[in-house]
Structure 1
Amino acid sequence: MSGPNDQYDPKQVSALSEESLAATVADALGAFAAASDSASLKAARLAHTGDRSPIALANREIGALPPAARKDAGRRMGAARGQINAALAARAEEIEAAELEEALTREAIDVTLPVALAPQGAIHPITGLMDLMGDVFVAMGWEIAEGPEVEAEWMNFDALNLHPDHPARAETDTLFVEPASAHRVLRTHTSPVQIRALLNRELPVYVVCPGKVFRSDEFDATHVPAFHQIEGLVVDKGITLAHLKGTLDHLAQAMFGDVTTRFRPNYFPFTEPSAEMDLECFVCHGASVGNPDAPCRTCRSEGWIEWGGCGVVNPRVLRAAGVDADVYSGFAFGMGIERTLMFRNNAEDMRDMVEGDVRFSRSLKGESR
């Protein structure tokens, strides 16, 4: 800064002259106008308003003026700085608006397009299939019955004509609930629900019983310790094996379309006579039987696939539930939900059904509601 100038010398403060200030303002306005983005405008701002800018250096020279001249010089300096700051603010606003417009154009989103705001779940295929099978029977006028999963041993075995020494009552097959003196088990089938229906409902009884059951099984591709069954029970006057065959044929067609079925004799303690219901193989339709050149993995070249057990209700079961077996007769059946699901979708590994992967649930046809 120049020293005091009591004898005011215009040459010593030429930067404060009107011409110099006008030139400084013009240079600043030109630099601001030439700036095309925020970065270049920042450089122009530092060059023309910073501590080492011409206008800042000129402002320091005011102290070199005699007192009489400082007021006039200060007025000119204030006007010049005002012009520069106004031009800077205006240009900054223009560049900010232009950059915002460019960003909006570059990042534009078509808000009319559908968008998934959150991952979509799916009903588990086991649940969906149980509902679907239940709907088949509700449409025929049946009722859906439910019962506890921890069941009395008498309900699970004795009432169903399974004597105390039956292999199914061993710990190798059945999961008992401690203490053993309580005689409670995790139900091994939904048949106890049928007994409860006979005990609690007025005859005739037409019920279907879907639910979870438990067995002491290995966890592999075809077995899991906790799985699902659907069982049906009819007790009425004049019920025959023909009613059973017609009911199961209707269920098979609802589940698999135009499919051929057959009854194969078998034995169950709670039905007499008893049968296994088989479905014609969906893959080979029996063509692999006796044909080693075209084996079928699905039915193992047998032509048929086992679906479930059925039969006429044993009179001992009716009497255990207080039903007059001389007046009433009935039929019962049961099949696995997982097995039905595998047949409908050509699934090979039952473990996929318990992994909890939503992609598996979405991939199965007709099981979601």
Structure 2
Amino acid sequence: MGNNAGLYALTDEHEAIREAVREIAEREIAPWAAEVDADSRYPVEAQKALTAAGFHATHIPEAYGGEGADAIATCIVIEEVARVDVSASLIPAVNKLGSVPVILSASEDLKQKVLPSIAAGDAMISYGLSEREAGSDAASMRTRARREGDSWVLNGTKAWITNASVSEWFTVMAVTDPEKGANGISAFVVHRDDPGFAVGPKEKKMGIKGSPTCELYFTDCTIPADRIVGEPGTGFKTALRTLDFTRPTIGAQAVGVAQGALDAAIAYTKDRRQFGSAVSDFQGVQFMLADMAMKIEAARHLVYVAAARGETGGPDLTMVSASAKAFASDVAMQVTTDAVQLFGGAGYTQDFPVERMMRDAKITQIYEGTNQVQRMVIARSLLK
């Protein structure tokens, strides 16, 4: 991060976006969050509200019918939605994850084919990198693509694909040249109606239960040749570059859920009385709240620094993005766990949102690169 750290300033527009999203989140998303979690159902209300307001995919450039919002604005949207429901925040977050490879590396024709439908809210896009045996070691994937005339033919399985059953488009990594390792992996855009493509059943998860996570099956899945993203063999590079731009969005989810938990804990401890005083009058509780607030504020700034750095580029983008994701998600896990503690026995029940927040927070330490992998990435940057 050194001397050329990404400086940023929040603008009036950023603050207006936060206000607008918070209002929508409180009114249209929060009331359904407990039910979405309890029933493991997709948050259709959130999707409708976010799409109507243009907050479902703010990052897509204006050239493709999008808002063309900067990375900080997109992080603010995700943060404010995650404050009330992490599952719903995956709508804008995964639309970004799935489409960034297309934005970075696809031909103009392919961009025109895919991005306008996402910008308009007619379609969503998921990202297919992981496999059961290729999680952190994504380069060891087994899904294959071979060229046949005017088509590419894909065979294999992808795992843990977020929002799989509600997406139309999928950015999928597959091996096109097994001899070349990571340099033999290519990226493709698959449509859910392509022959030989199927989405598997939903995983039963600890948290983010409103976001359907499924496998993808490719059985001689045949797509037009022009659906390759960039040149053959560049897919893994595109995947890694994508994560530089999307890891801050996971940091934003983490900051949001932590803020939601802190807000709930402050309200509850002020209201709850024990030993003749409000629980918030006890210094032990006050110090817990102070630590929670400090860590959230530090995490929030680091996330915005990483988002701003993605706009300006720079050699430390990978390191600062990994730092933001790992730090913010560790903070979210600490803060949500402490929030449950501050609610006491009530916090362990589903009568209050903090137990859901704690379960939802856990995934932020795991997906888009486990925090162990983030630390490897950071160390590699420091030591090279």
TM class by shorter-chain length? Answer: under 0.3
Provide the TM-score with structure 1 as the length reference: 0.23
What is the TM-score when the length of structure 2 is the normalising length? Answer: 0.23
Greater helix content: 2
Higher RCO (Cα < 8 Å, 6 or more apart): 2
